[in-house]
């Protein structure tokens, strides 16, 4: 059965939570909130929170309930600002970003610029939100307040996005089977991976040459070890 797998930095399996236990339809992305997981359920149009025991999963964003002027529709990406307790959800079907504080809806933004948004990440360096949009092959940047800052046209079909503590940006391209890497100013660097099958999710544990890059895609999860020259080698 489908499950949420928990692994360590080396990729060794630790435990798992079955979809049936969580009553999860189709999980697209998750983030960590302390000891809890926040999981986006795209099929059931909801966002939930649970600890690893999954004894008391909690619905944060409900299906059918209107947020702004519409209910959640095909959510995909999620980002969590642990310092301020703010949750940002890519409401792909409505071409917007939803902003929550705890379980309270605060705002939505992006509908004037977004075409088919997918992933979202908070840049630890400047605090801005970076949203991948495979509708026009771009990355769009917003302030935490939802103000549009800039659009970078990168082409292709960008999906999952991760930003390191030093501001380096990793973006999957679902059709190119590639995870692209960008400098903090969004100038392109050599790709992190060119053999990732339909990459949808990207994350990292560690920093610099001690980092391990995790890429989830059509063939499961692949691990890449960082090297001293900022390149990544399959493990």
CATH of the domain at 54: 2.120.10.30
Residue 97 lies in a domain: yes
pLDDT at position 235 is 82
Instruction: For residue 39, give its domain range.
Output: 3-201
pLDDT at position 36 is 92
Over 80: is that where the pLDDT of 1 sits? no
Segment 72-82 mean pLDDT: 97
Residue 30 lies in a domain: yes
pLDDT at position 144 is 96
Residue 225 lies in a domain: no
H or E segment and range at residue 160: strand 158-163
Residue 229 lies in a domain: no
pTM strictly above 0.85? yes
The mean pLDDT value of the chain amounts to 94
Residue 232 lies in a domain: no
Question: CB-hemisphere CA count at 13 Å for 80?
Answer: 19
Give the list of residues 6+ apart from residue 225 with CB closer than 8 angstroms, or none.
Answer: 211, 212, 213, 232, 233, 234, 235
Cα distance between residue 40 and residue 73, in whole Å? 11
Q: How is residue 114 written in tokens?
A: 């977004």
**pLDDT tens digits along 45-59:** 999 999 988 888 899
Segment 73-85 mean pLDDT: 95
Segment 218-226 mean pLDDT: 88
Segment 126-133 mean pLDDT: 98
The alpha carbon dihedral of 49, 29, 76, 163 has a sign of: positive
Q: How is residue 108 written in tokens?
A: 């939505």
Residue 208 lies in a domain: no
Confidence of residue 181 (pLDDT cuts 50, 70, 90): very high
Over 80: is that where the pLDDT of 92 sits? yes
Residue 55 lies in a domain: yes
Left (φ > 0), alpha (ψ -120 to 50) or beta: where does 176 sit?
alpha
DSSP letter, residue 20: H
What is the domain count for the chain?
1
Residue 22 lies in a domain: yes
Q: Is residue 131 within 8 Å of 90, Cβ to Cβ?
A: yes
**Range in 35-39, 90-94, 142-146 with the lowest mean pLDDT:** 35-39
Q: How is residue 139 written in tokens?
A: 């990355």
H or E segment and range at residue 22: helix 19-22
Over 90: is that where the pLDDT of 86 sits? yes
Confidence of residue 125 (pLDDT cuts 50, 70, 90): very high
Instruction: Write down the residue that tokens 């995909």 correspond to.
Output: 76
Q: How many CB atoms lie within 10 A of CB 36?
A: 16
The alpha carbon dihedral of 7, 165, 158, 33 has a sign of: positive
pLDDT at position 158 is 98
pLDDT at position 230 is 77
Segment 197-208 mean pLDDT: 92
Distances (CA, A) of 196 to 64, 70, 94, 191: 35, 35, 29, 11
pLDDT at position 218 is 83
């Amino acid at each position: 059965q489908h499950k949420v797998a928990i692994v360590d930095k080396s990729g060794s399996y630790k435990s798992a939570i079955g979809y049936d236990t969580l009553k999860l339809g189709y999980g697209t992305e998750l983030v960590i909130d302390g000891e809890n997981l926040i999981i986006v359920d795209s099929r059931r149009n909801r966002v939930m929170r649970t600890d690893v025991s999954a004894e008391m999963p909690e619905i944060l964003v409900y299906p059918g309930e209107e947020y702004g002027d519409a209910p959640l529709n095909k959510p995909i990406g999620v980002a969590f600002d642990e310092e301020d307790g703010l949750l940002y959800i890519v409401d792909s079907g409505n071409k917007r970003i939803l902003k929550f504080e705890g379980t309270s809806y605060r705002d939505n933004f992006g509908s004037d610029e977004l075409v088919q948004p997918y992933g979202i990440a908070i840049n630890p360096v400047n605090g801005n939100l970076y949203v991948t949009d495979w509708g026009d092959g771009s990355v769009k940047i917003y302030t935490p307040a939802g103000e549009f800052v800039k659009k970078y046209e990168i082409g292709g079909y960008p999906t999952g996005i991760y930003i390191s503590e030093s501001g380096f940006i990793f973006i999957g391209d679902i059709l190119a089977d590639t995870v692209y890497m960008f400098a903090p100013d969004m100038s392109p660097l050599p790709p992190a991976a060119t053999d990732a099958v339909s990459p949808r999710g990207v994350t990292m544990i560690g920093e610099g040459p001690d980092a391990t890059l995790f890429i989830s895609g059509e063939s499961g999860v692949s691990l890449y070890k960082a090297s001293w020259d900022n390149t990544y080698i399959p493990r």
